Structure 1
């Protein structure tokens, strides 16, 4: 009798639980685009342009390192407590980010934010799988997909408006009321029957992975800027990365409950999907992180316009995701992903050809094509992966693909940040004027902060040219990753 009442109560509360889940997913999804739009203003206020990429890298590092761990914790202790704790940590990080008075503080607070964010996406999706039947999930997943579309469209625009008319600090504080509403919904309306399970968490794998990716990120961001590539420090960081990564693979193959189930990688379609998710993850962070800086610093547009150029990618993505489902049925998985790969190359090539005179419309069109490519490939990957494995492996296989995209974001933020810093420093060092040679990477702060009028015409144009050429190098690397993605997609069998 009690069980029947419990089930009835749980069923009647589902719309409220779904609303709470959607709110939680919204604050996690909007974080990527809203902060990107605000970054030029943050740099102008706090300084530290050389640390630009660490604002993204620190958040993504903790997110990538904890996403699979949170999934396991939710199996042991229940979705509700783990998700609520994750949201609380995220909100504490968001509140502190808004109080930051230096770039170093902001980077540390972003670590806290990322630590909480790792719980939000996987557990929110899992709750939907728990409370809805197989027949209902397709419709509900449509709602969740629309959260990504809405957040991606509103994030850049909202970020631009907050920066221009209020303060960049509200880009972080806007999470607080939404997050508290999500927690209230979960506390009041989500009821779980938790079966006690023996904790099997891959702490050792998580620890060595964190060491490996941290060393690699530090090497990519600071190598060639703070210390030479061919130096003892570079060699030490490379060796630490390699040893920790080899240890990670060794641990994963021997532990009973691995963080990354490598056995799944033996399936050809999953292997290619995971590799391409990594390469497209690098591309995605390169465009979303640095495009607002190009539009504001090189094209001299305001934060709102910069936000709208990024929104174009967010419009292309959900449109292509919707089309992808139909294309998979009509022309197949391989052709759908290859068309997506061509769109990624086209968008990236347009970014490489972009210059100061191109204007924001060029940037928006380039973003749109990349968004179309992302939508076609990512949707096809999820469908393919879930069709390639049995039910009891589906969650792990989907999480592994999400993990690879997060890892691509993390490495991409570090790699492309390192390319930007290295090229900009080399550009300044090549200048014949000694006064200009004395400029540092952080001199870009003035360019982004509207203090360009305080610089001489020569210094202003040199800094602008340096930023433009450095970001051009970033887009060349993005194009290279687009080509790699396409080549891997060609390896798919024609029957797939």
Structure 2
């Protein structure tokens, strides 16, 4: 690694004796003053050659494994429940993972500022790998649920730090390429998860759903360990990192109360959204209590972040209040939330629609979703080229993305629910949606460096990531409630209560109904999924309206400073 500036200056001038000591002391004092200056930009060392390839491979492998776990269990859940005899606790196998997965995203991003990216991502991969193996070795439901929560904690760090590290490991000119790679991994894993889970459950024991993460996690850990310096992404040496790590001042910078209150608020909110309408009714005591307590904790957390920001002490708030006062950051967060909602709803519900309304297999449904999955990363690359090479204002790309999103979702919601054969035009609708999602999700990440200073980069990236995941979680909860309500209301007219209950547990129970009844049930499912897409359309329209917060008389364009960094527009 490159030596410290003051060290190279002393050696090059060849000053000896007392003069050397004085100069080193002056240089050290200057360095400390720069570290205390929050606006000081330390020189970055970008990855190149084999280090860059190893880092990219390590991030992609860990990201693939962690995002697979958000959906892979869905199709193997029946096998897990039957083997461990825990049908009443089956929902918690998914919920426990999502609680910690969503709750730790901003926390990991903030801690990476204090303790370093390398340490945090290695801890995340280790947690994910160890507890994946523990999940596979579980002999009852309770330890499996607990281990899934720790597994989600590791996966959260992988996802958050992958987002934080991508713009730090390469120069701004290469942002588009690497953001496109990460987006592709996320999109592909979202559909590959259910297919792989079903394949494993049909071919071998469900335990391999978790055991497969073992060798993959070890490889990813090794790649990341050898490719990332402890001082990443700045100049420096390992001994100084370890000295900083054990220093009392470093630990005093952590906002422990903010971390705990944010985690509790996030977990309670996700718990309520995951359980409402399935395990508990929306108006039940546990769900209402979770929403109320979560709301109170969010208010307490925001008030604490404001107080801590204004106090200006050593302890650093998880979310600096200056970001909350920045309308552009708020606009980006709101748009990320409103884009994450339809994105997750589309990639999860469209394959389900094909299986229920059109009668395809899970593998066929995944293949037929390829137009959306391939166009989303393609749009990411196009957006990156337009922004970085042609200096197109990111606001224009967000307007284009929202327009494509509204058009694609609206057209898809118009599909005839009684049509058994999948019409060719729906692939065109997927292409339009894919470009909309790709433009929006990637532009949000590329625009963030233009809105915040380097000291706030990690937190801003983590916030955008968490709000997008939270939007997707809320979207899936809304869609699930709509589906269950419509299925219950419509099928109760011609099915018995046990048959309706079986449909709500698994749409595969359609196959056990008489052929004539099957067709009618598929019509109900088609209409229900159409209603889902119409609701998603409303959120897409609001996403377009949210761009008002990013509007300017002269929309900002990407510009580089003399040091090669993206210029932050005041």
TM-score normalised according to structure 2 size: 0.72
Of 405, 420, 430, the residue aligned with 2:483 is 420
Distance of aligned partners of 1:380 and 1:185 in 2 relative to their CA distance in 1, 3 Å threshold: closer
Distance of aligned partners of 1:11 and 1:117 in 2 relative to their CA distance in 1, 3 Å threshold: same
Paired residue for 1:215?
Answer: 268
Paired residue for 1:489?
Answer: 547
Give me the whole-angstrom Cα distance separating, in 2, the residues matched to 1:259 and 1:186.
26
Give me the whole-angstrom Cα distance separating, in 1, the residues matched to 2:138 and 2:357.
27
How far off is 1:380 after superposition? 2.4
Distance of aligned partners of 1:453 and 1:407 in 2 relative to their CA distance in 1, 3 Å threshold: closer
Give me the whole-angstrom Cα distance separating, in 1, the residues matched to 2:71 and 2:323.
34
How far off is 1:345 after superposition? 0.9
Count of matched residue positions in the alignment of Structure 1 and Structure 2: 484
Distance of aligned partners of 1:82 and 1:219 in 2 relative to their CA distance in 1, 3 Å threshold: closer
Q: Does 1:307 align with 2:366?
A: yes
Paired residue for 1:387?
Answer: 450
Of 9, 12, 19, the residue aligned with 2:54 is 19
Greater radius of gyration (CA) = 2
Of 506, 524, 528, the residue aligned with 1:470 is 528
How far off is 1:274 after superposition? 0.7
Paired residue for 1:480?
Answer: 538
Paired residue for 1:152?
Answer: 187
Give me the whole-angstrom Cα distance separating, in 2, the residues matched to 1:298 and 1:52.
25
After superposition, what is the alpha-carbon deviation per residue over 1:168-218, rounded to whole angstroms, capped at 9, x for unaligned? 665544433222112123344544221345223333233333333343344
Paired residue for 2:111?
Answer: 73
Of 232, 250, 254, the residue aligned with 1:198 is 250
Q: 1:34·1:159 contact (CA, 8 Å) conserved in 2?
A: no
Paired residue for 1:248?
Answer: 301
Q: Does 1:336 align with 2:397?
A: yes
Of 459, 463, 469, the residue aligned with 1:400 is 463
Give me the whole-angstrom Cα distance separating, in 2, the residues matched to 1:111 and 1:455.
37
How far off is 1:45 after superposition? 6.9
Of 495, 498, 503, the residue aligned with 1:438 is 498
After superposition, what is the alpha-carbon deviation per residue over 1:434-463, rounded to whole angstroms, capped at 9, x for unaligned? x62233444355642xx6443333553454
Paired residue for 1:372?
Answer: 435
Give me the whole-angstrom Cα distance separating, in 2, the residues matched to 1:29 and 1:267.
33
3-state SS in 1 of match to 2:554 = coil
Distance of aligned partners of 1:11 and 1:282 in 2 relative to their CA distance in 1, 3 Å threshold: closer
How far off is 1:341 after superposition? 0.5
Q: C-alpha root-mean-square deviation of aligned residues, in Å?
A: 3.9
How far off is 1:276 after superposition? 0.8
Give me the whole-angstrom Cα distance separating, in 1, the residues matched to 2:384 and 2:48.
30
Distance of aligned partners of 1:252 and 1:440 in 2 relative to their CA distance in 1, 3 Å threshold: farther
Q: Does 1:94 align with 2:135?
A: no
Of 308, 330, 347, the residue aligned with 1:288 is 347
Of 63, 66, 73, the residue aligned with 1:28 is 63
3-state SS in 1 of match to 2:317 = coil
Distance of aligned partners of 1:173 and 1:332 in 2 relative to their CA distance in 1, 3 Å threshold: same
Greater shift, 404-413 or 299-308, is seen at 404-413
Greater shift, 388-397 or 146-155, is seen at 146-155
Of 404, 408, 411, the residue aligned with 2:474 is 411
Q: 1:70·1:82 contact (CA, 8 Å) conserved in 2?
A: yes
3-state SS in 2 of match to 1:239 = helix
How far off is 1:336 after superposition? 1.9
Distance of aligned partners of 1:231 and 1:157 in 2 relative to their CA distance in 1, 3 Å threshold: closer
Greater shift, 225-234 or 341-350, is seen at 225-234
How far off is 1:149 after superposition? 1.9
Paired residue for 1:349?
Answer: 410
After superposition, what is the alpha-carbon deviation per residue over 1:317-361, rounded to whole angstroms, capped at 9, x for unaligned? 122122213444465333221111011112211332233535175
Give me the whole-angstrom Cα distance separating, in 2, the residues matched to 1:91 and 1:422.
38
3-state SS in 1 of match to 2:74 = helix
Give me the whole-angstrom Cα distance separating, in 2, the residues matched to 1:299 and 1:102.
36
Larger fraction in helix: 1
Give me the whole-angstrom Cα distance separating, in 2, the residues matched to 1:465 and 1:402.
37
Distance of aligned partners of 1:330 and 1:33 in 2 relative to their CA distance in 1, 3 Å threshold: same
How far off is 1:481 after superposition? 1.1
After superposition, what is the alpha-carbon deviation per residue over 1:97-152, rounded to whole angstroms, capped at 9, x for unaligned? 5567899877655433220012213434555666x5x7x46437624532432563
Paired residue for 1:184?
Answer: 222
Distance of aligned partners of 1:482 and 1:93 in 2 relative to their CA distance in 1, 3 Å threshold: farther
3-state SS in 2 of match to 1:257 = coil
Distance of aligned partners of 1:480 and 1:410 in 2 relative to their CA distance in 1, 3 Å threshold: same
Distance of aligned partners of 1:372 and 1:53 in 2 relative to their CA distance in 1, 3 Å threshold: farther
How far off is 1:372 after superposition? 0.9
Q: Does 1:316 align with 2:375?
A: yes
3-state SS in 1 of match to 2:499 = coil
Of structures 1 and 2, the one with the larger relative CO (CA 8 A, separation 6+) is: 1
Distance of aligned partners of 1:201 and 1:154 in 2 relative to their CA distance in 1, 3 Å threshold: closer
Any gaps of 5 or more consecutive residues in structure 1? none
Give me the whole-angstrom Cα distance separating, in 1, the residues matched to 2:322 and 2:47.
40
